[in-house]
Chains A and B, each alone.
Chain A
Amino acid sequence: MTKFTRRKTLGLSAAAIAAMAMAEKAQAQASAIPVADATAPNLPIERGATLRMLRPVRFVQPDEDTFRANCARFTQQTGVEVRVDFVGWEDITQQTAVTANTGAGPDLIIGFNESPHVYVDKLVELTDVAEYIGKRYGGWLALAQKYGKRHGTNNWIGLPFGASGGPLVWRKSAVNAVGFERPPEDHAGYLDLCRKLKQAGKPAGFALGNAVGDGNGFANWVVWSHNGFLVNEDGSVGVNSRETVAALTYLKDLYATFIPGTLSWGDVSNNRAYASNECWLTANGVSLYFALKNDPATRAIAEDSEHMLLPKGLASSSPMAGLTLNAMVFKHSRFPNASKALLQFLLEREQYDPWLQANLGYWAQPLEAYGQSAVWNSDPKVSIFRDTMKNPYWIGYKGPISEASAQANAEYIMVQMCASVASGQATPEQAAREAERRAQRIFRRR
């Protein structure tokens, strides 16, 4: 039995009061989010409905707390019990596969990126909710539309909840010391910066291993910033192009300036190298900044760190595809209306804005109006993440999002093409040909 002492009770009360005060403040700020008039879809909730949801594990504790509090409020208002389970990021794909293929388990899953497109025939269409929410909150942003709608239609199969970008993270002192105000946007200038950093003993480092976020992010940037791409708009393979070869030739020079070992880097490797002053320029989500800021031993590094969108190179905007949370409702659910009502409820400003704020900028909104959220004024170093979902790039750019694009990404075709050139295993031409061969196997089948 839990024994409550006066000290403990006072402590708990203080924590509860602080949490309530924060929630009230967030609620008050939520009312500043502009809304337009729109008629909510009629979703009569099924009798005796209870819901089960899976979502990726939190970045920070307030993420989970606010999400659970929002679900509890839904229960309070509708009487529908909601159970939320949190799953590791690497593991949610398998859980989704089991759920979709067995028709068992949760009613809703918030997965990543293209998940709804892989299981499209197992999902309930969410167009009514998406149209209502889009109309009410200033419209869905580009990346949200891409991941939410079925290719070539206006049918929504997923409801994006936010995305996490991976811009450049760099040490201001090091970049300034080698004669640059900030990393340049052009390829030649950027290469020059990396060379000078290497000469100064403060090298750059980007993942070239099979890293879900960082590896794909860097390989895609190399190719996209040279206007190359994996697939054409019609879904035919287009990776073996002059642009890709130019990108890989550039990578060969760039790789020579990196810290040793990046060929085997996973998602966590650059975090460690950056935190231990081994690497001074990398690309990462905001998690790295907060991890440094929250640890007194590394706070000085956080203060010296800046964020900047990935250099544009030859592209017209910074080539980056944010890791997107994408919610889906399964046909096997006995309570599809309740599921849709829950998603709609969670995306309304009274719930969504406090959640966005609780995430401190880890996730960026999918809807235009939430760009006004107070979270983007909380820390100037975080505000760069605000427009993550306005980016016109996605995983599988510039073809349709499909099971094939998901497989090509899961097989790290772009990453391995880059790694084979960086390691000297293949020439740029050979690597592009090999990537084309692998991609054709995948895209021809679908």
Chain B
Amino acid sequence: MTDAAATAGSSAAANAASAQPEHMAWDSRARRMVMLWLPLACFVLILLFPFYWMTVTAFKPDAELYDFRAHNPFWISSPTLNHIHKLLFETAYPKWLMTTMLVAVCSTFLSLLSSTLAAYAIQRLRFKGSQYVGLAIYLAYLVPPSIQFIPLAAMVHQLGLFDTPFALILTYPTFLIPFCTWLLIGYFKSIPYELEECALIDGATRLQILRQITLPLAVPGLISAGIFSFTLSWNEFIYALAFIQSSENKTVPVAILTELVTGDVYQWGALMAGSLLGSLPVAIFYSFFVDYYVSSMTGAVKE
């Protein structure tokens, strides 16, 4: 009996040493394929297909582009750089790109600055009615730009900003600030208040607390809000269309439509090249901060 127990014990130890990670009975390879990899593949395919289509169209000659019966729509037989050349050298695309970048960076900076202060005040100062102020700011975000663009145009004109990049830099925050504020209120809420109480006991002022304690902890949230703001500004259409009339001051989304759609003739190759190049800065910007972005989703400081 004792011997048998000892043998059993030693074989169990040997098994434990060479054991594979334990698989649950329900966790078969087929199940993982169906439950994980297949949906993931579909998801990735759907997400990346527009980029693939843009890329393929940007390098396709017109003859292939229009005739799907003679040419495979998903592949290029004889790639061409004509569309890229037309876009970069026969239009003012580089200038539009610079204008869009200027507008997106400035409006993002302004919005982040304002919404950080607003969110901190609403979340931490707890003044009377702070909750309702937060709600009101969010409600402002729900007003559609198609209703706002004419009243805003009147204000932009009165300020003498019509047809300048400042018209966009100062109007984009009207929808960016409410969104960022709301996002940051949630983020500040997840930072333990005790940290700030300790600082208060040590004699720090509110601004010192914000700068030295709250903001360093809120970097993922700020980056997340920054990415959203940058992307929204980069892609914005209706204000850019309404407030800018000179060809040279236009932003990419509006300018490529003006220059590359003539009547009912769409120059698809150049349009797709413009969209592809236009989406690259956002993708690059995003790729630098993706870790912060993900961590902002999971909360600030673990208690």
Taking beta carbons and an 8 Å cutoff, which residues of B are in contact with A?
A: 61-63, 66-69, 149-150, 153-154, 157, 162-163, 238, 241-243, 245-247, 254, 257-259, 261-266
Contacts and interface: CB of A to CB of B under 8 A. Distances in A.
Size bin of chain A's contact surface: 35 or more
A86 B247 contact: yes
Contacts of B62: 295, 297
B181 to A, nearest CB: 28
A272 B66 contact: yes
Q: Which 10 A/B pairs are nearest by Cβ-Cβ distance?
A: A297-B63, A104-B157, A276-B67, A267-B264, A88-B258, A275-B66, A102-B153, A102-B154, A98-B242, A98-B153
A278 B262 contact: no
A95 B261 contact: no
Contacts of A284: 264
A285 B263 contact: yes
Contacts of B259: 57
Interface of A: 54, 57-60, 85-91, 94-95, 97-98, 101-106, 164, 213-214, 267-268, 271-272, 275-278, 284-285, 287-288, 291, 295, 297-298, 362
Given A85-B246, A276-B66, A58 B262 contact: yes
Nearest to B63: A297
A298 B63 contact: yes
A213 B68 CA distance: 25
25 contacts: A57-B259, A59-B265, A60-B262, A85-B245, A85-B246, A89-B263, A91-B254, A91-B257, A94-B238, A94-B241, A95-B241, A97-B150, A101-B150, A102-B153, A104-B153, A104-B162, A105-B157, A105-B162, A106-B245, A268-B266, A276-B68, A287-B262, A295-B63, A297-B61, A297-B63
B69 A277 contact: yes
Nearest to B247: A85
Nearest to B154: A102
B245 A277 contact: no
A57 B66 CA distance: 23
Nearest to B256: A88
A87 B240 CA distance: 12
Given A94-B238, A297-B62, A287 B265 contact: yes
B69 A95 contact: no
Contacts, number: 96
A169 B9 CA distance: 89
Nearest to A295: B62
B264 A98 contact: no
Nearest to A269: B264
A278 B69 contact: yes
B245 A91 contact: no
Contact of A214 (B63, B149, B150, B264): B264
Nearest to B62: A295
A208 to B, nearest CB: 16
B240 to A, nearest CB: 10
Nearest to B64: A297
Nearest to A83: B246
B216 to A, nearest CB: 44
Contact of B258 (A57, A59, A267, A275): A57
Contacts of A272: 66
A268 B264 contact: yes
A103 B157 contact: yes
A88 B244 CA distance: 13
A91 B69 contact: no
Contact of B265 (A91, A97, A291): A291
B264 A213 contact: yes
A31 B257 CA distance: 37
